[in-house]
Amino acid sequence: MIKESKSRRVFTIWNYLFLSLLGLVMLLPFLHVLAGSFSSGNAIIQGKVTILPVEFNFLNYQAVLNDVAIWKSFGISVFVTIVGTTINLLLTALMAYGLSKSNLKGRSFFILVVLFTMIFHAPMIPSYLVVKELGMLNTLWSIMIPNAISAFNLIILMSFFQNIPKDLLESAKIDGCGEYRTWWKIVLPLSMPAMTTVGLFYAVGHWNGYFNSLMFIRNSSLFPLQVKLRKLLVESDAEAMMQSVELTLSSIEGIKMAAIMVATLPILFIYPFIQKYFAQGAMLGSIKE
């Protein structure tokens, strides 16, 4: 066992202190919004709220949760996140498995095309015209299909698939498995850490996404939660929520903070359950054995 030097211990201590301080600085805005969501509007306007609620109450959440449009937008976001992530994982895993084969004809060309999309993105107007010609305007498919495969996530899975022992794949082929059955029965079960990591990337992207919804959807009944949140923060739709509870105009900021927490907490609660897969998958996708 190698004894740790004094300078190394000092560096480790300062490193932990710096990262802890940095994490605290990043956490403070979240705590401020959380405290404001439980505070009165007057306390927020007067600047009394820091990281602890002032004049604690649930009226802001009551106003947000009593809004039917919020619940409908929440359901749409859940649907888009689940279905969209499933589509993303299915298509990304299929393409990554094919590109992980060194004997694939034209493999270098396809990889070059994938890398090209990481540098040059499709402009807004051509993207809109493509979605329009495909008949996906004002549908939820316009949010899920255009960005079905991420080049970054594709490279992660492709690198992971290349680490799977070739002897195992050849044994499956000898036993009569075709490529699709090998992919389904052998490759995917072994790739759960990487699939979970990539799935988390896709799910967070779907949950937080709003630009495609603004560009492709005009029917307000199909707006996901993030678009509804934007309307609350930018277009002052919060005033309509105050009619269901006893709130004054000064409570608009509190309603906005409560809406932010409602939109943030669901995806935040998922992290503790898949954190171990997230770290393991991110490492395994980049290490060659």
Burial tier of 89 (Cβ tally within 10 Å: 0-12, 13-18, 19+)? buried
Render pLDDT for 78-120 as a digit per residue (tens, 0 to 9). Answer: 999 999 999 999 999 999 999 998 888 888 899 998 888 888 8
Residue 161, both tokens: 């698939």
- Distance of alpha carbon 111 from alpha carbon 121, whole angstroms: 16
Q: Which pLDDT score is estimated for 82?
A: 94
pTM score of the predicted model: 0.82
Amino acid at 280: Q
- Distance of alpha carbon 81 from alpha carbon 214, whole angstroms: 17
Q: Which pLDDT score is estimated for 242?
A: 59
Token pair 């509804």: residue: 228
Render pLDDT for 182-229 as a digit per residue (tens, 0 to 9). Answer: 888 889 888 888 888 899 889 989 998 888 898 999 888 899 998 888
- Distance of alpha carbon 141 from alpha carbon 59, whole angstroms: 36
